[in-house]
Structure 1
């Protein structure tokens, strides 16, 4: 589990001295399709791990140990903004992050890469430091040395990509060479008892490379020495994916002037002055200079790289290649350029993914699959995303689904992730219609900031609450907006939940991280954990909406270190469940008491406009199919409690699968 949802998110650390080698790289904007299968496999595994976490909480009423640690929801989003807040130059990749990080480190002679990915041992780049071995107190860690690895295996650095592909990686499935590895192991004469089977397999394959394959290097092609079969192109692609700009592989043979251009990534054949062989070299097809992170959106190593001219004659389906000269969804090149630049500078979230590929993803969240009374965050915020799609793609006009559907790879209970959900844009209710992105992003006219805010509120369908929300001081405007939306959408939230959300946000102000870390909880409630997840995912949704609308609010206003701490929320949740007064919830702080009632009044009044009264669980109607009366029923049935009138699909009416989600009307019950 993690601090932002159960323990303390804490405050932003002190600002370090900026240094050139301290740049950070974020993740790619969308996963290459060749790696989607592995992504799905890991997400389904995550779901099983999350189920064990909730089982432990319900059985023991305590936080699980480190062996059940789970990556925080929204970590990738909030980390980039935390680093930017600390003065660090932060870059987000346009393709697979591993490649761009390795490339950046190689080209800029960086101090090193701090991470947890064995691919950084395979890339011939700057030193690789283990983040799992990092001591935050002393800043000591372990350097994983690829030179010593190569030496211990009897290989050269240039052999490591070949070894990685024969063992299996994200490009080449592990099972592809299972029989080959078995043959290597059976003929390996130096099996070590100190190594497990996996270790001996690695040693055996490395031994085969150094003693067998190398004998014919430069004379035979890889497919003549290895059982590649119909997977020849995929294997070449895997090996070539480790070549950074300007690097060459001695394992590729090619005629001197052959050039293979795939997805505008050029593998040019040049002579190696040492080996006198013709070897492929990866370079920028236009400038042939170094490629900074995120500067060439079409230079994509994930899209079918192969250094054999025979390969390009193969059937792309059988080759496993992605012949994707990317066709962007948005036709305005200037707007797309702005979105791309904002993405690279880590100033937005998902916006460029929607506009460039029409595909987005969201990983697993700490959600209890057995709790039928609380919806998955994927469903709760889908109407918001649909309105954002309408804004970015220009669809959904006139209440119809005219815009292109966006492919959503969102993880939630019951979704096998065999295909993406196809989600169509949803029209916003704005007087005068939806403004253009040129207006929202580029205009400097007076009043444009007000129009940006109007658009943001329309994405949440909260235009009627503009006056109330504007009266709230920063940073609580964003929190109130999110709480109003949550309580209108989720009819099983009660007054005690609202008290806990508001109290923790107020008490978080000025509270040191040490105090947050030392908080002691009576017990752990699984429902509070999932409520924390809903709120945190709501904050990431705010990042998406704010960026799409031209940033009417400061991004800092909805960063968790300003608004939400999971452990503090858990404390306030347990206190609120016991019926503690507002004075006790805000720790007897008089100014907090006044703010508490002000914020509560704003949320309740806005919800009242939507015919959604917020009542105490003590006054919950017996027939209400909520937390206290709906256990065991289907989460995809028809709502019998409060729900939202207007556009969109209620979370109980949404289900797993790949069906299209249209902006249909649904009724209030």
Structure 2
């Protein structure tokens, strides 16, 4: 979020502090200045990776799950543009959500949920991707982008605390030429110059630099006072609401003293007013050395909050930094793992080489941002629930289940997972579960640090057991690791999601085996006649599963190479969508497999192994072809004023068919009472207004779904079993 209104103020009211710079010239000048004091070094730019994601992902189809091969090419071209100018790049990504910023994180996740609901409404009405105004990043883009950059030879770090702080600290410590990001907090840190990625022109390597020195001269505050200014305006630590009375008083004084106020909208005047208040403190000798001036009219709790917010901007070497406790918090589960494991977890995390293990072992918290899931479609389980049993086994493997085979003395992991129906009022407390192995559970130190064929076999066994796919161990070495990973993932989805059909499986497997032969250019040429909202969800479900494969692989000691688990080796959103449409229309296997005998051979092998597993587990995989309604040829002119659907869509909800294994497909995953409408965190958007129940139109079968009256089938034993996870 940054500082409320500050960047807007600089652009509208302080244009001299926002200058266009040429990064090539800036790099040349930086080298010249550096050579005066020390040996020559390459000019270094620190990049806020999270801020760049929406600029990097410029591929056409974002709603289908990600065009990952094309995305790799985009990143490659982006990196090469800087390398050609002799600029070295260092990337930072958020590794944790600090507890003090959790509520702000929740607010943003709820806001995005509203946009996702609109995305699915658009797809179901128009059978096409919505416009840029509803753009959402593909699921897990932040998870896999650090790995993608590492494959391109880039230096990548994952933060163990607030990423903005680590970026500013690194840039200052290493004398970097600038910070490339999109967060006004970088104006506040007394670090390297802040450069806008939003205004970057890659072909000319020009962008806008926000000059904190010129800002301070314009508004009359000292650089050291910027942290107090930021907190009074509102940031991620001190919310805008908490300092509202201070800003109101400052505005009243400002208007009395300024007959011709600062040009610009009210927000610009607020910045100027608060700046005048802050500068008045500097003129008082007794207030100069205090973080929060005594004369500031705030309560004791708010004064402590302001101190916390101000110190969060202080870097090593800043005055008052010694008052800020930056010691790492104690590891949550340090008594269950060895010091060597703790060290390895941190090292893997910082180097962006691992996934999940640091947050579990050292923090005791895991989280997952928004996914493209349709909350009005009750047939498909949310990804958070589909993979919950996998996560529990990962937790069990990492924490050794208390050495004595029991998890009774282990505290639960706090999970903050965003999915439809979860109000995010508090974390889900999830307990570790034993990994079922054909041998005594090996120690984590053995799995991670020992060598030899026996240990390699143990690693693979542990990995496959997390997904309950131990029967596939004989395939290791016979097929590519990426295909083995795909088979494990699809098998898990089939066993967990009872509404998955044979056509869905064919789409998953066919695109995985055919993708290896496709170039990014080949994939860009694919034309989709229409979009299926269900295929969108299945694409997201698969990619989220890849991140769980990555976590399981790290926890098991990496029996597979991390590269084999990357989405660009087994998934492309547009390609999967095309295979989904082909499979559901009943295309012949030769067409589905692109008339390639090698692909057909791999496809049949994977499908046979999956069929054997389903038989063993008692899972009957049925054919349930989806026939989506054709893409509208003209705009629907008349819609119901409440629901937005054509007026003839108003019948009772009938599901898409029965599922196997005793499951009831309607509301099976809504197994908590707080999932009811009155506890939904998104207000009235897309649900109820004035007590009116909305209908959800499902394009798959032409029927309407009355969400207020779900079908009354027995949930069956499998539903009740799921509640324990």
TM-score range, shorter chain: 0.7 to 0.9
The equivalences for 1:30-69 within 5 A come to 30-69=96-135
The answer to whether the 8 A contact 1:155-1:206 is kept is: yes
Aligned to 1:335: 341
Q: TM-score, normalised by structure 1?
A: 0.81
1:365: which partner in 2?
A: 371
- Is this contact kept in 2: 1:393–1:404, CA < 8 A? no
Which residue of the partner structure matches residue 421 of structure 1?
428
- 1:580 alignment partner in structure 2: 587
* Distance apart, 1:138 and its partner CA: 4.8
1:62–1:183 CA distance, 2 compared to 1 (3 A): same
Q: Aligned partners of 1:472, 1:439: CA distance in 2, in Å?
A: 27
Q: How many residues align?
A: 582
Unaligned runs of 5+ in 2: 1-59, 628-654, 672-711
- Counterpart of 1:216 (choices 258, 261, 284) is 284
Pairwise CA distance, 1:367: 0.6
Q: How big is the shift at 1:531? A: 0.5
One of 94, 110, 121 as aligned partner of 2:187: 121
More displaced, 39-48 or 146-155? 146-155
Q: State which drifts further: 63-72 or 126-135.
A: 126-135
- Once residues 508 and 720 of structure 2 are traced to their aligned partners in structure 1, the CA distance between those partners, rounded to angstroms, is 21
CA distance in 2, matches of 1:612, 1:110: 57
Q: 1:434 and 1:476 mapped to 2: Cα distance?
A: 27
For residues 286-318 of structure 1, what are the alpha-carbon distances to aligned partners after superposition, in whole Å with 9 as ceiling and x for unaligned? xxxxxxxxxxxx35xxxxxxxxxxxxxxxxxxx
Q: Kindly indicate whether the alpha-carbon contact (under 8 Å) linking 1:502 and 1:599 is maintained by their aligned counterparts in 2.
A: yes
CA contact (8 A) 1:456 1:546 kept: yes
* Structure 1 residues 474 and 428: CA distance shift in structure 2, 3 A: closer
Does the aligned pair in 2 maintain the 1:113–1:126 contact within 8 Å? Answer: yes
Distance 2:297 2:223 in 1: 23
| Cross-structure match for 2:529 | 522
- Asked whether 1:205 is paired with 2:274, we answer yes
Question: What's 2:463 paired with?
Answer: 456
Of 389, 393, 399, which residue of structure 2 is paired with 1:387?
393
Match of 2:239 in 1: 173
- 1:658 counterpart residue number: none
Q: How far off its partner does 1:63 sit?
A: 0.4
**SS of the counterpart of 1:429?**
coil
SS at match of 2:401: coil
1:129 and 1:142 in contact (8 A); partners too: yes
Deviations 1:358-409 (A, max 9, x none): 1111111111111111011110111011011111112276576553211111
1:445-503 per-position Cα deviation (integer Å, ceiling 9, x unaligned)? 33211110000011111113323465432321111111111111111111111111122
Q: Is the 8 Å Cα contact of residues 2 and 72 (structure 1) preserved in structure 2?
A: no
Q: How many angstroms apart in 2 are the aligned matches of 1:349 and 1:224? A: 45
1:187 maps to 253
- Secondary structure of 2:367's aligned partner: strand
Is the CA contact 1:457–1:466 (under 8 Å) kept in the aligned structure 2?
A: yes
Unaligned runs of at least 5 residues, structure 1: 253-258, 266-297, 300-323, 645-649, 655-660, 663-669
- Structure 1 pair 107–398 and aligned structure 2 pair: CA distance change class (3 A): closer
Q: Conserved in 2, the CA contact under 8 Å of 1:373 and 1:631?
A: yes
Q: CA deviation at 1:8?
A: 2.0
Q: Secondary structure at the match of 2:195?
A: strand
Q: 1:279: which partner in 2?
A: none
Bigger shift: residues 590-599 or 77-86: 590-599
Structure 1 residues 240-279: aligned runs within 5 Å: 240-248=311-319, 260=323, 263=325, 265=326
1:153-164 map, 5 Å: 153-164=219-230
Q: Which residue, 585, 593, 612 being the options, matches 1:605?
A: 612
Measured after TM superposition, the shift of residue 50 of structure 1 is 1.0
Match of 1:22 in 2: 89
Asked if residue 551 in structure 1 is aligned to residue 551 in structure 2, the reply is no
Aligned-pair CA distance for 1:190:
5.8
Within-5 A mapping of 1:314-325: none
User: Which of 94, 97, 104 does residue 170 from structure 2 map onto?
Assistant: 104
Q: Does the CA-based 8 Å contact 1:491-1:642 persist in structure 2?
A: no
Distance of 1:569 and 1:623 partners within structure 2: 23
The alignment's C-alpha RMSD in Å is 2.9
* Residue 3 of structure 1: aligned partner: 62
- CA deviation digits over 1:231-280, x for unaligned, max 9? 1111011111111111226xx9xxxxxx64x64x3xxxxxxxxxxxxxxx
Distance 1:431 1:84, change over 3 A: same
Judging changes above 3 Å, is the alpha-carbon distance between structure 1 residues 341 and 216 closer, same or farther for their aligned structure 2 residues? same
| Equivalent position SS for 1:447 | helix
Q: Answer whether contact 1:359 1:408 (CA < 8 A) is retained.
A: yes
- CA 1:55–1:651: 2 relative to 1, 3 Å: farther
